[in-house]
Chains A and B, each alone.
Chain A
Amino acid sequence: MEMEKSMEMIKICLLGLSGMFISILFKNGKQEYSIYICLITGVIIFSFAIDTVVEIKSVIENLGNYFNVGNQYIATLFKMSGITYLAEFASNICKDAGYGAIAGQIEMFGKLSLLLLSLPVMLALLDTVSTFLG
């Protein structure tokens, strides 16, 4: 398992570097093609990472069943990591293209939705604390 994982890691690095070299080719000529290639390389690399994420998700769910922690908290955790990943991917693409303002807006929206998602968890924590204090 480790050998195959390291081979895959090398493949990913080579793929990323080749995508970067090709997109540099269009850096001074046609700007939009360099952004296209950078975007599609990111998408392809993430498609390799999907099965790892599925494995991690199943392991975490098994862990949750052991400690019978509230399952909705684990679902919220996954939702948060999904939102973070999407917002970061989009904002990094915008930063690469040189449009920091749009990237900032995307990140701000991501932070606000994360805050919204974490509110119920915080309320539940306050409830448990207040029950302890009596």
Chain B
Amino acid sequence: MSVNLIFKIAAVGILVSILSQVLKHSGREEQAFLTSLAGLILVLSWILPYIYDLFETIRKLFAL
């Protein structure tokens, strides 16, 4: 449960937005879309374990 995860996600977001801008201006629309999709999936793979842990803890804590 680290705080630097927020900054990692922010870094990926900035990188992807810059990359997609560059790709858009150089005329390669689909690569821009693919990079933003890749960034999205990368961040999702980081976030999913934390969300799973949250729901697991809540399930155990409140005996759901």
Interfacial residues, chain A to chain B (CB-CB below 8 A): 15, 18-19, 22, 25-26, 29-30, 32-33, 36-37, 39-41, 43-44, 46-47, 50, 53-54, 57, 75, 78-79, 81-83, 85-86
Contact = CB atoms under 8 A, between A and B. Distances in A.
Main secondary structure of the interface of A (DSSP, over half): helix
A15 B57 CA distance: 21
Contact of B51 (A15, A26, A39, A75): A39
Given A33-B9, A40-B6, A26 B17 contact: yes
A86 B54 CA distance: 10
Main secondary structure of the interface of B (DSSP, over half): helix
A29 B24 CA distance: 14
Query: Chain B, interface size: which category?
Result: 20 to 34
B43 interface: yes
A47 B64 contact: no
B13 A47 contact: no
Nearest to A77: B62
A36 B9 contact: yes
Given A15-B3, A33-B13, A37-B10, A43 B57 contact: no
B21 to A, nearest CB: 9
A50 B61 contact: yes
A36 B13 CA distance: 10
Contacts of A36: 9, 13, 43-44, 47
B55 interface: yes
A47 B58 CA distance: 10
